[in-house]
Chains A and B, each alone.
Chain A
Amino acid sequence: MSRFLGSLRDGIGFDLILVGAAMLFLLALAGLPLVYNVLMSFQQVDMFTLGSLLRPFAGFANYVAVVAQPEFWLVTKNTLIFVFASMAGQFVIGFALAIFFAQNFPGASTIRGLFLVSWVMPGLVVGAIWSWILAGDFGVFNAILKSLGLIQATVFWKSDPNFALWSVVIANIWLGLAFNMLLLSVGLAAIPRDLYEAAELDGANAFQRFWTITLPMMRSTIGAVLSLGLIGTLQQFDLFPALTEGGPANTSTVAGYWAWQMSFQLYDFAKGATISVMMFVLVLFASVVYVRSTRHEVRG
């Protein structure tokens, strides 16, 4: 007994308690719901059996039903567009800004810090602001584009089926850009300066230096940024109710919002769970990439 107590103070027991408390909490509030979701996707669920665990087994019927939904392929396409366009925008602009702010000029880190305000803003507020900026008749975005001569006719960003999804993408890029920039800035700062100086002496131009030094040195950072970006983008929810509510005619519905609509607007909990399990497989892939990318990190 005293050995056990001793190990709590001084040995492996101390570590186990620290990890175990957090793990138990996470397993109860995130692990169990995950299992419950998987379970539910293989069962017949209705309002009356929502609270019970034992329900008629449905096999893959829910999966077949979800794929047979008329909007399934539209939502899949939207999800892919939303995820790739958001990630590409956040990553490319974030990387460009990170490189720009890595230059040596007065106020660089302070101004870069200001960009991070978008990161701490509630998603719903960001959605509300962009909803007003992108409004069709009175939105300032259209006014600016018109005064620059980029568009002639008013674009109804939120209600035109061709643009509704892109209005959420624009808001999401704004929201996630700063976080990408911050992570990439950290990666850039970790690259030793003398590598660049040596390359410059050898006659490498800026593009060659970027290609042969920056990119390879940042491989693990880029992996982390992209996988965290994928997870974050798939989880994005707040912008949809604030901007388009998935409309018009599902043209801006993505998997996460669709799953929520299935469960909480149509009360088809089995289908909602099934969609979420399908998403989960995708995210599993991203997490493997992330964990692999942490392998390359330098230990302090």
Chain B
Amino acid sequence: MTRPYVPWLLLGLALALAAVYLFPLYWMYVTSLKSGSEIFANPPTFWPMAPDPSVYPAVWTRRTMGTFLWNSVVIASGVTAITVILGTGCAYVLARYRSAWIDFGLFLILMLQVLPASVMITPLFVGFNQMGLLNYPRTAVVLAAAAKSMPFFVVLVRATFMSVPRELEEAALVDGNSRVGAFFSIVLPLARNGILVCAILTFMSSFGEYIYSKSIIQDTALQPASVGLSGFLGPNSTDWNSIMAYSAIYVTPILAVFVLLQRRIVSGLTSGALK
């Protein structure tokens, strides 16, 4: 059954599938390098006739992308910090015990994330307004988005903790460690990779946060890159090479980090995690 050339055929097929799947990304980069008139060529050219990257600096300055991206970084860092600090301990406890209460807690955490962000905004907006948080709109967005990303983080990290052998922790307790000591010196280091991977994923997903920012942040100088992008999207947009250049500048850092860490992310998620 297994002939020597079969693996290479499969490899070829895999590369072809990946090429089809990643075509939208390729198309984003190619479009951004095309001239304004070549974009509307019919049939479209699959390789730009005269690749011209000059749209990149133009979009960067005209769209004040430096500010937008900085705000995205600030918001994503805040979301990640809150999610990791609060979520890790919660995931650990949910992984350690097995009872109706734990099931209930897990259920509650899941239920708390299931309302679409688009309908959570009204209550959050009213609440933040009452607390005066709307004067610090980025903080408000960080809090709202952290509540959104935490349940998923807890579910993933819980799976990581479940793959940490219980015996190691019990041995540490027998050796005279306190629960706190065992948690910080044994369990956390063993689960470190899984937590790190989930933290990176949280950062990446909140880097693209859109709906809360759009509704809460009015000041352009504080808006993240997603809101900046929506500013020139619409049914009648024609400036496609600028839009694609903007998108490329926005996602290339995430994609680069992802491709660099891809192996670790995938193995972190697949080794015992995600059951």
Contacts and interface: CB of A to CB of B under 8 A. Distances in A.
Interface of A: 9-11, 14-15, 17-19, 21-23, 25-34, 36-37, 40, 50-51, 97, 100-101, 103-118, 120-133, 135, 137-138, 140, 143, 146-147, 158-159, 174, 177, 182-183, 185-186, 189-190, 220-221, 224, 231, 234-235, 237-238, 241-242, 244-245, 247, 256-257, 259-260, 263-264, 269, 272-273, 275-276, 279-280, 283-284, 286-288, 290-291, 294-295, 297-300
Nearest to A256: B116
Interface of B: 6-8, 10-11, 13-15, 17-18, 21-22, 24-25, 27-28, 31, 39-40, 42-44, 82, 86-87, 89-90, 92-94, 96-98, 103, 105-124, 126-127, 129-130, 143-144, 146-148, 150-151, 154, 162-166, 178-180, 183, 201, 204-205, 207-211, 215, 226, 229-230, 233-235, 237, 240, 243-244, 247, 250-251, 254-255, 258-259, 262-263, 265-266, 269-270, 272-275
Given A30-B120, A300-B162, A300-B165, A15 B93 contact: yes
A10 B180 contact: yes
12 contacts: A15-B93, A23-B108, A36-B127, A117-B22, A121-B251, A124-B229, A132-B240, A133-B24, A140-B27, A183-B274, A247-B235, A280-B114
The 6 tightest CB contacts between A and B, nearest first, are A122-B208, A18-B89, A276-B119, A33-B123, A22-B90, A29-B147
Contact of A182 (B25, B147, B151, B269): B269
B211 A25 contact: no
Nearest to B226: A124
Given A22-B90, A300-B272, A284 B7 contact: no
B15 A111 contact: yes
A117 B235 contact: no
A113 B86 contact: no
B14 A111 contact: yes
A225 B85 CA distance: 27
A114 B180 CA distance: 39
Given A25-B86, A25-B147, A122-B226, A237 B211 contact: yes
Given A114-B22, A122-B210, A256-B119, A129 B247 contact: yes
A122 B207 contact: yes
Contacts of B109: 22-23, 26
B115 A287 contact: no
Contact of A238 (B7, B127, B210, B262): B210
Contact of B42 (A18, A123, A137, A231): A137
A128 B243 contact: yes
A158 B39 CA distance: 19
A111 B18 contact: yes
Given A10-B178, A109-B266, A123-B210, A18 B92 contact: yes
A105 B255 contact: no
Given A11-B179, A117-B255, A237-B117, 16 more contacts: A21-B90, A22-B154, A25-B147, A34-B112, A105-B6, A112-B266, A113-B262, A117-B258, A120-B201, A130-B24, A147-B43, A234-B116, A237-B210, A245-B234, A260-B211, A272-B122
